[in-house]
Structures are given as C-alpha cells and as structure tokens.
Structure 1
Amino acid sequence: MTSVPKTMTAIEIKEFGGPEMLVPTTRPVPEPGHDEVLIKVAAAGINRPDVLQRMGGYAPPPGASDIPGLEISGTVVARGAGVTRYKEGDQLCALVAGGGYAEYCVAPEAQCLDIPKGFDLVEAAALPETFFTVWTNVFDRGRLDGGESFLVHGGASGIGTTAIQLARAFGARVFATASTDDKCRAIEELGAERGINYREEDFVKVVKELTDGKGVDLILDMVGGDYIQRNLSALAVEGRLVYIAFLGGPKATVNFAPVMLKRLTITGSTLRPQSVQAKAEIGERLKEKVWPLLSAGTVKPVIDSVFSLDEAAEAHRRIDDSGHIGKIVLQVLM
C-alpha cells in the first residue's frame, strides 16, 4: 500500500486579484469520503473558471475545496468505503469541484475516467473539464447532429479546440471565431471549415455567406454581451444557442423577435455545481461516444503549454494574456 503523507503542497488564492495571488502553501492531505478516491496528482488542467475563482467571481460550491483546479490526472493511493471500480495503483483522470492544484486531491469515483490508450498523464489532465463541458452543451443541450452547421466562439481555447474536433468527428460543418489570423489557421487545421478573425470580420456576415444565407444550426458561446443579438441573427430557423460563460458580460438589450420568427432555442449550463450523479451520467456518455475516438487518435487535446505546480501564477498569466491555443496544464509530478 502506498504511504500517504499528512501534508502536501497546494496552491491557494491568497486574496482575490491577479495571478500573483496564487501562492504555494502547505495543507493537510484530504481524506477520501464514501465513494471517493484519493489521487496523487500528476497534472492538473487550467480553465477559465479557475481564473474567475481567483478574481472572486466564482465561489466553490458548498463542501468543495477552496483550492482551485477542476480536472486532474494521477494515481489512486487510497479509497473510501463504497469504491468498487478503482483500486490503489490505478491511473486515471477525474473531474473535481475543486482542489486540483495540489499534490493530492479527492474525487468521486463516479467522476473518474480511465486514461485513453496512448495518452500520457499530462494529456489526460486536459480532458475532463473540457470534454464534460463540450459534450453536455454541444451534444446533450445543443443536440448537434451530423450534417448540421456549428459555430463556436473562442475557437482557439481549450473548449473551442475540443468542440471543433468533436463536432467534425460527428459529421458537422464547423466554423469558429478567434482573435488572430494565426489562431484562425490553427483551428482550421483542427477541422474548422473557416476560422473567422472577429477583430477584422463580421461573423454574422461570414456564416450567412457560408451557409447560403440560412445561418448556422448551433452556436456555442462564452462571450455574451453584444454577441447575444448577433448570435440570434446568425442562427438558422430552429437554431440553438448555448451559453457556457459571459466573458463579455451577461447583460444586453436584445430584440427577441428572431427567437419567435425563427423558432430559436436559447439555453446554457454550468458544470461545477451539478450533482455527482449528473456528472456521472455525462461521464458514461463520454466513455461510450468519445473515449474510443481519443484512443483511436481521431480526437486529441491541444496542449499549449505546461508549467510546474509552483509556476501556477505564470500559468494564469498565460491564460490571462489569451495568447494560448488549446489547454494550459500544471505538471505536479516532474
């Protein structure tokens, strides 16, 4: 049996603010509860919700760790009562509600997934948060089907690069916005039919031209703000608009007439507050529909950069600068 220390190094938020507020600290190693496993963390993915938490805009749900980090990979070193699928020594990746920026982290067994064939632990850490989010919003809520057209904003982000690949794998036409021509070329290489530089082009006009004036069937948006009205204009009849964040603000003055005239659906979700059971159901669909694509090499996370655990502040500066393409990962075990 693996010896587990009493304390560990973790990254805490000293106070709300910039990346410099992420500082190493010593914390007790958490103990796994019923149906939970304790994981010796090899790597942890960095996501926009971590940034929002650091800035004071996204509090952990009740009972969750205040340590940031929503996805990890590593090795099981202890099990709580009720755990049946995993044993000590098993390597896995997991979706967690917090606690990922640390040497040890607990995770509900139901939110753990086997590492796809051919993946290392750094790549595996980039999977859970992004793939859970994309699957539930694009395919469950957004109902994207083969042959439909799909626009994803922020195409060079971890969410965007994942959504592009999955949508293409399931037979959709994909368009994506990005902030530079280089990013547009990168997302086209991932499978987007057209990268749209939103600083130089009107995405509504571009997608209308590419769809013979019909508009797209589905939009995944994390911007909000003045994109809300433009998204409604860019949608086809019976189109769907799914929100996962509001980086440009959650409020806007909107003319809702297109919703009625085109019979549109507007929906959205956040992943972190959902129940273990709800997340487990998403995980089951991922194992069935997506993990075979990962093991076959059809889909793969795009890793922009890797930082050590004590470089968490630098990693957050990288995501704040928005120069990255794909995922940023903290490697805990060097």
Structure 2
Amino acid sequence: MKAGTEMKIAGKTVCVFVMLTIIKVMRTVGNEKVSVTVGNSSVLTCSPKSNITMVTWKISPKVGGPCTLSYRADQNKTNRTNCSDSVDWKFRPDRDPSLEIRQVEIAHEGNYTCEVVATEGNFHKMYQLTVLVPPRLTLYCDDNGIPVCKAAVGKPAAQILWVLEGISTPKEEGHDNGTVTVLSNFTAYSTNTTNTTCIVSHPAGNQSSSIACRPPKNSFFRDVLIILGFLSIITFMAVVYYFKLHRDRLCHKPKPPETAPTHSPQDDTMEVEPYTTYVQKENIIYNSVSDLTVGQNLPQGLSPAT
C-alpha cells in the first residue's frame, strides 16, 4: 500500500514537472497588427534563434485556401504548399526565418503565424495583415456649378472634408473586392466663394485638390423659363377655376317668382255680357214654352189670349 502511494505521488510530480517545462518552453511572442499599402512589399519577421530545428509559416488569407512554408534543419530542406510566388523567404531560413510578401494585393490580407522550434524552446508569433488601398481623388463641377469630390475605390472608406464652411452630402458605394467609393457634393454658405478645396483623409495618406466652380452661362435663361412655366401653370389653373365657378352659377340661376295675371274691368265686362245674353235667350225660350203649355191645358171653347 505504501509503495503504491509513493508511485502515485511520483507520477503526479512528473506530470507537474512536464507541464511546467512545456509552459516554459512554449513561448508566444504575441499578436501584431500590420498595415501595408497595396503594391508595396512587406516583411514579417520571426524570432531568430540559434540552433533552429524547424521553422513553419502558416498563412490563412481571407480569400482563398491556406498556405504553408516550412524548413527543416536536419534535412536542410524547404517546403511550400499552396503558396503563390509573391510569398517566400526573405533570406535563407536557417539564418533568418523572415517572410517577404512582394507586390502586396488585397488577396494577401489575413493572418500570418510563424512557429519556431529551437534548442531554447518553441516560439510562435502571429500577424494580422491589413491591406490599404489609397483612393483616387477626383474633383469636378457638375452641371449646376456645384463642386463634387470623389474618392474612388479606397480601402477602408475615405473621409472627405471641405476647407470652407458649407453643406456636404457624402455617399458611399461598396464594391465586391472590399473597396469603397465615397462621393461628396458641397454647397458653401457664402455666395461669394470662388475657390473650393477638398481634402481626402485616408490611412494610406491624405490628398487635397482645389477647384473654382461657377454657374453655367445658360442658368439665368433656364431659371427664367422655369419661372415663366410655373406662372403659366398657375394662370391656367386660375382661368379654369374662374370659368368653372361662373358656369356653376349660370346653371343654378334662380327662376323669377310667378306673378298672378292682372284682369282689367273691360275683361270682366266682356266675360259678363255673353252670360247676360245667354240668360235673356233662356228666359225667352222659357216664356214661349210656358205659354204653349198653358194653351194646351185650357178647357174646350177657350183659347189662349193673344
């Protein structure tokens, strides 16, 4: 029992010693952010140690597959896997394991890790490579005489500033390769401004340009035509409204009130006279009939008096 307990203690001691040794041997130099302008060259250093046994560069770009460069001192041999010709050792890896990237492109952006195995221990260092693309500055006047500043295909997006005080309206347009185009229109507060300066701020470097914009020659006539057209529309609408209003009034004009017909006394006399004549005739006829009837009803030997 005692021997078994001692073996367990010895095993734990060895494990702790091994762990401490690994922690001491495995050293991480650290992570470092590196920015490089597109088209330039970049050198990523790795801790140069004496008695190097093996060096390995592991590259993980944002676009495309991983790349590996390795060197073994015991075989004095280098090996590369899926790496382009622009990525290679700067010098002999047994003397300086630095990595060189020639003619940096956007596709080279990513993580680069160097691992070194030497008699002093194992070391590794990682770089985060960012590729900068300086924008192309263009300053011009649009059709209305307004200055326009354009920072085309920059990475990251540029910032456009104007020297004079005014109103600017920047717009961004992203592209598939990660670049951004920024467009800014500028209107100065002062109408006496003749010269305008645009400043493009970018990590790859600042740029500036100046221009004098003036309204086009035909702007006055164009403004006059616009005003006349607007007035014509208002006049036409007013005339239409006027005729419509008066037409509605004519259609709904009230009728005059009906008045009772007037009769003159002469008309009453003319209406009464025919009635009087008619009555007289009726009386004559009635008297004649009455006389005839009386005569017929008299006794014999009597005759109606004449």
TM-score by length of 2: 0.20
- The structure that is strand-richer by fraction is 2
Structure number, greater radius of gyration: 2
Higher RCO (C-alpha under 8 Å, 6+ residues apart): 1
TM-score by length of 1: 0.19
